[in-house]
Amino acid sequence: MNWNSPLVQAGLTMLGINIAFVVVLMIVAYTVLAERRILALIQGRLGPNRVGYGGVLQPFADLLKFILKEEVIPDQATKFFYLLAPIIAITAALMTIIVYPFGPTVNLPFFGPVKLVIAQFDIALLYVLGMTSVGVYGIMLAGWASNSKYSLMGGLRASAQMISYELSLGLSLVGVVLMSGTLDLYSVVELQTNRWEFSPVLNFFLQPLSWNIFLQPLGFIIYLISAIAETNRVPFDLPEAETELVAGFHTEYSALKFALFFMAEYVNMFTVSVLATTLFLGGWNGPGVATFPVLGVFYFLGKIIFFLFLYIWLRGTLPRFRFDQLMNFGWTFLLPAAILNIIVSATVAYFYY
Amino acid sequence: MTNHWLSVVVFAPLVGATINWLIGRRVRSEAFIGIIACGSVGISTVIAFMIAFTEANGAALTNDAATPVMSHLWTWMQVGTFRADFGFAMDRLSGIYACFVTFVALLIHVFATGYMHGDRGFYRFFAYLNLFMFMMLTLVLADNILLMFVGWEGVGLCSYLLIGYYFNRQEAGDAAKKAFVANRVGDWGVILGIMLIFSLTGSISFFDKPAMEGVGAVESFLTVARGMPVESFTWGAIFAGGLTSAAVLLFIGATGKSAQIPLFVWLPDAMAGPTPVSALIHAATMVTAGVYMIVRCSQVYVHAPTAMFIIAIIGAATAIFAATIGLAQNDIKKVLAYSTVSQLGYMMLACGVGAFGAAIFHVMTHAFFKALLFLGSGSVIHGMHHEQDMRRMGGLKKYMPITFATMLTGGLAISGIPIFAGFFSKDEILWKTWSTASLGVANAGQILWLIGAVTALLTAVYMTRMMVMTFWGGERFREVPAGGQASEAHAHADDEDLKPHAARFDSAGDRPRHETGAHVGDAHHGSPHDEASDLTIDDDEDEHAAHHGPFTPHESPWVMTVPLIVLAILSTVGGLVGVPYALSSLIGLGDINYFEHMLEPAIAHAPGEHGAAANGGGTHQTPSASNPEWLSPPPQAHDGASPLSVGDGSHGEPGGGRAHDPHEVSMERLFTGISIVIALVGIGIGWLMFQKRPLLAMPRLLENKYYVDEVYNASIINPLKTGSRNVLWLFFDVGVVDGIVNGVGRGTREIGSVLRHLQPGFVRSYAAIILFGALAVIGYFAFSAYQVLPFTR
Amino acid sequence: MLELTSVFLFMLFGGMAVGCALSMIVQRNPLYSAISLVGVFVSLACLYVTLAAPFIAAVQVIVYAGAIMVLVVFVIMLLNVETEVRRPLRLRYLIPVAAGLSFVLIAQVFFMLFFVGPVSSAPSNVGLTASIGAGLFTEYILPFEITSVLILMAIVGAMTLARRAADIPLAARSADSSGAAGSPFTDPINDSRISGSRPGLTEIVGREMAARAIERLESRTGRGQGEET
Amino acid sequence: MIPLSWYLALSAVLFTIGAAGVIIKRNAISMFMCIELMLNAVNLTFVAFSSHFNDVTGQLFVFIVMAVAASEAAVGLGIIIAIFRNRESLDVDEASILKL
């Protein structure tokens, strides 16, 4: 069998995409469970622990519940967009995952060396940003099409918030791009493998020093904050502020359509975590990856899990912003800070690269 | 050689003017303003003399090779072969000019600080005066005719500003405008002359200049003109477009600037300006600019005998015409003004007969004694509490001894009494006129000489009359003016001086009344000349009216008398630099005509000379204005192909090796004797006529200046006004211009009322129209592409 | 094989683009139009990818779909623009004019295409980020900088327009408080004109935004009563 | 390789649709979107030419066109909002006088 024939490659890519989808969805499912359990821990409760051992089957029970619930479509809703919105949301969220490199080049039996990335191309980072920006349509359309004031308010808030913070998010990444000189995520990660030359032993232990986070601390902080806002998570969860807007843009959604929004949110959480890992925390890099490439996959997963935990942790501890505070913070602090970061990075890059 | 200190000579007064205008108006300290003004001119003077006489600085006047000192600042314009530099040059001619201009101006500046003391516009006056100096020096030192024209216009402007210095007085403003307009008429000729010279010779530069960075070399138009044939002596040559035309056009400018017939009318009126201005601008410097230009372009003029003839005629006519008018004037400044016009006529006469050196010599001596006379008259006016009418003076020599003595010197000088400066220059002009050979008409020289001699007589007469009326006789200022006198004074076109002192602006001299009380304290404060300032500020309405009963004239302060004394000395000895051979040999001194020799290289000579010199034994004789060959008419028709070069004169050893024909010398001595007799006779006539009867009425025709102003009004100004009003305004402007404008407006409105349907305000129709237009363009290009491009199908 | 694939992709995305474009002008509801236009943009982005211009494709999605059209949709939702009201057309003749002009345009283009014919071309590799960046910051630095100035102007212009909208209620308020009737300005808080025919939704948004604007203005000027502007 | 003319034809069709839309649509926002469509049609030709002639210039121009379009969107939408606030309508035919 000729592995290099385009058809085979396409087929393999399809296979990889499907596997990735399944894996991501599984991770999302267990993130939900983890969130509930951890929140419960933080709040001194138990959380779901009855379905399966310690609640391991709880996500599937939830899924079953969503599937079996009644599909309610509001009478005054604009049906086409009402149905389209969740599809856009979940599609845009899922489409980014094909570009993330989740491991170094490994030697697989039968296949030989394989890059652990589904698609590697020149503009991967732009692709991610583009998909993220398309995702906002899902929320806006959902809010508008539901024909409900809570939905509309939530949708407007969400879209305003996402437009605003998308700017800071994009700009915070420019620093990394300047340092790396490429938009290809795989190259970005590879560049974080061995930035400094120490002695072999030190190289092993001090490998994290090569990560971009040490070159771009300000960029990382801005990215982190913007990413939380981008995913509408606490403390930026204005669009779905229960006390004000019932449930925001998806107030009128039920059953599987709600599940899609729900999943989209967690997929988004996952993708921004992956992006943070890839761009700032060295991706699959870590001590020992040079020797045992497979180790990289676990580093990668570990870092993602750290970020996911961070999200949950924040949700359990922080209060919510007010809307004007949110806007002020985004436009008057984050954006100037991101621009400052770009200026400093560009200057440094000009002189040292 | 290049010496950039030359630019300092020009620009120092500009700096002074700027400082006085910007800072002086705020400082309001007369000491400061005066020091700045006199200091800047003093700097110019010192540097000008240094450049003119010291070897290290180029010795523009005395170096043997007669090389000019140049200062090229930048190339002003360069278009094709046309090159106008912003650069200065001092050669023999401009050196003489620069020296006496700066020196006389310095004295007048000093005088003016006393004369203008207490005036509200003190800073303004000196700013203008300094600006004038800048312009005058630009005129004199410019190294091309275009830059000279800048100075020419600039002095005209400053003259306008200074004549109209008392802008709240009607006659001052009118006089200023008159001067300006008369000068514009002349300037039209200068501009055309410059253009014609450029088109004839391809150059406007006075000097040959090497190529510099970015600009090509340029040859002096004088050099070019030297190689051109002498034009024939016909009236048609004026309109032939050759050198004669250019010369006549330039002379038109000179008639305006130097107050010749027919454009002299502005100069007497210009006496409405302050007296120092009259002395500086309208006697010593600016009005001689026309003479300067003609002498500067003498190389052109010697090729244009017709133009020379015209100049001689005009000059002689102006001289006698103005002298007769001057005989009958009662305003002391008017007398001097007409005297100036008359003397300018002399200078023009000298130019016309080819005696350029004599003309310049007279310019210089005239600057000395006429400045002296004007300043003296200013001193008299000052002492007389701004009374200008000589009929109210008399017996002043007791009160103003210094002024009297100095003015007497000036009067003797202008009358042509030997030793004094005017004698030598005037005598030389008369002699050259008699002996000229360059006029194309037989005996023209003799006729012109006769006119000049009569003028000299008249000059002596009216100067004596002026002196007598002013300084001798009864003290008429003590008399209350009588009505009869007032009616008599109506002859004055613009003087209301003799009316009883009821009017607000009566008896005003050239200075306006000071605001009552407004400036009394101002004038008192910090003034070093208490006596003077007291009397000056007394010059206000009540005081004056009260005084015109008896009051006592007073001598002027030393800042005014010192310049008078200096000028008196110069008027006495200034002529000694140009003593002709005929006289110096009389006392065994040989040729001491330094002035002539100095000027020699800078001026051209009548082309006939060369042929004569070539005939005279083949030796390269230095042709000079005093050359004996001048007397005899050219022995045969000169070949005309090789007029003498400007620089040839320097080859001769000054004072030696010249041939002085004994016959010539004796003739010249004879004519000198005649001149002396004329002067003495004139003084005698004046003394006899006016000593007893100083108020002797003069012929009405003369007193009214031959009604020239009236004739001009009737023949030119009024028809022009009427024509402007009826044809240009009511017909052309209202009918044609406004009609066109209104028609355009109406037409636009009509078209708009049709076209507005294309603009309904609907964006979508606009879009459709735009699309339609775009499609038309695309269609056009598609079609042309279809026709032009090679196609694959 | 590859040829077939690319033809297929072109047909797919080109067809999508044309379809969405047609849908855009056929739809009466601006929101539908907007979403159709997003479809056109995405299709074009895909075409750009097939044209080996991935960078432009990504920027197309980010700028057009992600920024411009989001703004448009936002405005549509904010103003609650409804379906175009069918009212007697004033400029009815424009429809045949548009049809005619469109036909001429199409005819011209195909005339050109038919007569000019195919152009030989080489496989492309210029669409990469690096080449675009190099071109943009070397040869075309001046247009790039001018563009940045243009964007700055747009920012200022947009802010000015938005601020004027915020000033209006202030003037209206002071006019009200001084008892002047018939003020030409509207008070968006008590005026239902800002909301459309769909009550209860955008009216709230409009009121909230206006109230916030007033609040901000007052806190900035430090007084309760607005001044006459 | 798809022939260049196919892209040009597609672009022409899109442009025509946009141009017709500008004339036909009465809603200001719809007109605005039609203009964006026309810009995109032109962009397509740029990219197609750029790609076929292997010259990056076309894509740079597309980049600049996008920047211009973004500016236009910001200002244009601001104007549309201002018009709406004053006229409570987005019908451009209503806005036929230069007066609020």
Beta-carbon neighbour count of residue B502 at 10 Å? Answer: 7
- Find out whether the peptide bond into A235 is cis, omega within 30 degrees of 0: yes
Burial class (CB in 10 A: 0-12, 13-18, 19+), B65: exposed
Pairwise CB contact (< 8 Å): C117 & B791:
yes
Is the pLDDT confidence value at B406 over 70?
yes
**CA B738 – CA B336 distance, rounded (Å):** 49
Pairwise CB contact (< 8 Å): A166 & C58:
no
Q: Which residue of B has its CA nearest to D98?
A: B761
- Mind listing the pLDDT tens digit for each residue in A62-74? 888 888 888 888 8
For the ranges A230-244, B62-76, B322-336, B475-489, the lowest mean pLDDT is seen at: B475-489
Q: Which domain holds residue A320?
A: 71-352
Is the pLDDT confidence value at B366 over 80?
yes
More confident: B222 or D3 = B222
Q: What is the least distance, in Å, from the CA of D99 to any CA of chain C?
A: 12
pLDDT band at C181 (very low <50, low <70, confident <90, very high): very low
Which of D23, D97, D98 is opposite residue B764, by nearest beta carbon? D23
* pLDDT value at residue C91: 67
Q: H or E element: which one contains A319?
A: none
- Mind listing the pLDDT tens digit for each residue in C59-110? 888 888 888 888 888 888 877 766 556 666 666 777 788 888 888 888 877 7
pLDDT band at C7 (very low <50, low <70, confident <90, very high): confident
Distance separating the N- and C-terminal Cα atoms of chain C: 70
* pLDDT value at residue A190: 83
Is the pLDDT confidence value at B514 over 90?
no
> Do B312 and B353 touch, CB atoms closer than 8 A?
yes
Determine what percent of chain A is predicted with pLDDT higher than 70.
97
- Mind listing the pLDDT tens digit for each residue in B434-469? 888 767 777 888 889 999 999 999 999 999 999 888
* pLDDT value at residue C30: 85
More confident: B111 or B28 = B111
Print burial letters for D66-81: b (CB count within 10 Å at least 16), e (below 16): bbebbbbbbbbbbebb
Instruction: Show residues of chain B in contact with C84, CB under 8 Å.
Output: none
* pLDDT value at residue C183: 41
Q: Which amino acid is at B388?
A: Q
Nearest to B501 by CA among B485, B517, B516, B514: B485
β-bridge mates for residue B2, sequence order: B70
Q: Which residue of D has its CA nearest to C100?
A: D20
**CA B289 – CA B310 distance, rounded (Å):** 18
Is the pLDDT confidence value at C118 over 80?
no
Which of C90, C101, C115 is opposite residue B772, by nearest beta carbon? C101
For the ranges B6-15, B197-206, B448-457, B503-512, the lowest mean pLDDT is seen at: B503-512
β-bridge mates for residue A116, sequence order: A103
Determine what percent of chain B is predicted with pLDDT higher than 70.
83
Nearest to B664 by CA among B631, B617, B635: B631
CA dihedral B746, B747, B751, B754 (to 10 degrees): 50
Q: List residues of A whose CB lies inside 8 A of any C CB.
A: 6, 81, 84, 121-123, 126-127, 129-134, 136-137, 140-141, 143-144, 147, 149, 152-153, 155-156, 159-160, 163, 166, 182-183, 324
Q: Looking at residues B727-739, what average pLDDT do you find?
A: 88
Which of D53, D68, D81 is opposite residue C150, by nearest beta carbon? D68
ipTM of the complex: 0.74
> Do B144 and B84 touch, CB atoms closer than 8 A?
yes
The domain made up of D4-87 is a member of CATH 3.40.50.2300: no
Is the pLDDT confidence value at A245 over 70?
no
Mean pLDDT over each residue of chain B, to the nearest integer: 80
3-class secondary structure for B2-25? Answer: ECCHHHHHHHHHHHHHHHHHHHHH
How big is the CA angle at D3 (ends C129 and D68), to the nearest 5 degrees? 45
Q: What is the least distance, in Å, from the CA of B748 to any CA of chain C?
A: 28
Q: What is the least distance, in Å, from the CA of A159 to any CA of chain C?
A: 8
Is the pLDDT confidence value at A96 over 60?
yes
**CA D68 – CA D61 distance, rounded (Å):** 10
- Mind listing the pLDDT tens digit for each residue in B708-718? 888 888 888 89
**Which of the residue ranges B211-215, B687-691, B743-747 has the most confident prediction, judged by mean pLDDT?**
B743-747
Please enumerate in sequence order all residues whose Cβ is within 8 A of that of D21, keeping only pairs 6 or more positions apart, or say none.
C24, C25, D30, D31, D33, D34, D37
**Residue B771: strand, helix, or coil:** helix
Beta-carbon neighbour count of residue B791 at 10 Å? Answer: 11
Instruction: Show residues of chain D in contact with B763, CB under 8 Å.
Output: 31, 92, 95
Touching check for C59 and chain A: CB below 8 Å? Answer: yes
Q: Which residue has the tokens 């008359």?
A: B342
pLDDT band at B291 (very low <50, low <70, confident <90, very high): very high
Instruction: Show residues of chain C in contact with D81, CB under 8 Å.
Output: 75, 78-79, 161-162, 165
Pairwise CB contact (< 8 Å): B764 & D97:
no
Print burial letters for A213-232: b (CB count within 10 Å at least 16), e (below 16): bebbeebbbbbbbbbbbbbb
Which of C31, C67, C204 is opposite residue A133, by nearest beta carbon? C67
Mean pLDDT over each residue of chain A, to the nearest integer: 84
Instruction: Show residues of chain C in contact with B773, CB under 8 Å.
Output: none
**CA C127 – CA D59 distance, rounded (Å):** 7
Q: What is the least distance, in Å, from the CA of B780 to any CA of chain C?
A: 10
Specify if A28 maps to a domain: no
Phi, psi of B83 (to 5 degrees): -135, 120
Q: Looking at residues B742-763, what average pLDDT do you find?
A: 86
Q: Looking at residues B670-695, what average pLDDT do you find?
A: 87
**CA B134 – CA B18 distance, rounded (Å):** 11
- Mind listing the pLDDT tens digit for each residue in B299-356? 899 888 899 999 999 999 999 999 999 888 888 999 999 999 999 999 999 999 988 9
**What are the domain boundaries of chain C?**
2-84+91-125, 143-221
**CA B22 – CA B15 distance, rounded (Å):** 10
Q: List residues of D whose CB lies inside 8 A of any B CB.
A: 19, 22-24, 26, 31, 92-93, 95-98
**CA A173 – CA A183 distance, rounded (Å):** 10
- Mind listing the pLDDT tens digit for each residue in B558-569? 888 899 999 999
For the ranges A156-160, B374-378, B506-510, B736-740, the lowest mean pLDDT is seen at: B506-510
**CA A221 – CA A214 distance, rounded (Å):** 11
Is the pLDDT confidence value at B213 over 90?
no
Determine what percent of chain A is predicted with pLDDT higher than 90.
2
Q: Looking at residues B743-765, what average pLDDT do you find?
A: 86
**CA B746 – CA B435 distance, rounded (Å):** 73
Chain centroid to CA A39:
20
Determine what percent of chain B is predicted with pLDDT higher than 90.
31
Chains A and B touch (3+ CB pairs under 8 A): no
**CA A288 – CA B702 distance, rounded (Å):** 125
Which of D22, D96, D98 is opposite residue B762, by nearest beta carbon? D96
Pairwise CB contact (< 8 Å): C74 & A133:
no
Q: Looking at residues B186-203, what average pLDDT do you find?
A: 91
**CA C39 – CA A88 distance, rounded (Å):** 12
Pairwise CB contact (< 8 Å): A159 & C70:
yes
Q: Which residue has the tokens 């004074």?
A: B489
- CATH: 3.30.2010.10, 1.20.120.1200, 3.40.50.360, 1.10.10.10. Which one for C2-84+91-125? 1.20.120.1200
DSSP B701-742: HHHTGGGHHHHHIIIIIHHHHHHIIIIIIIIIIIIIIHHHHH
β-bridge mates for residue B638, sequence order: none
**CA A76 – CA A78 distance, rounded (Å):** 7
Q: Within 13 A of D42's CA, how many CA atoms are on the CB side?
A: 14
Pairwise CB contact (< 8 Å): D71 & C150:
yes
Pairwise CB contact (< 8 Å): D22 & B761:
no
Tell me how far CA of residue B558 lies from CA of A310, B456, B535, B564, D44, in angstroms. 101, 33, 15, 9, 94
Which of B762, B767, B771 is opposite residue D93, by nearest beta carbon? B762
> Do B477 and B547 touch, CB atoms closer than 8 A?
no
Q: Which residue of B has its CA nearest to D19?
A: B771
Touching check for C193 and chain A: CB below 8 Å? Answer: no
Q: What is the least distance, in Å, from the CA of B766 to any CA of chain D?
A: 9
More confident: B211 or B303 = B303
* pLDDT value at residue A2: 66
Pairwise CB contact (< 8 Å): D27 & C91:
no
> Do B504 and B514 touch, CB atoms closer than 8 A?
no
- Mind listing the pLDDT tens digit for each residue in C54-65? 888 888 888 888
Q: Which amino acid is at B228?
A: M
Chain centroid to CA C217:
28
Pairwise CB contact (< 8 Å): B792 & C117:
yes
Nearest to B439 by CA among B340, B564, B509, B353: B353
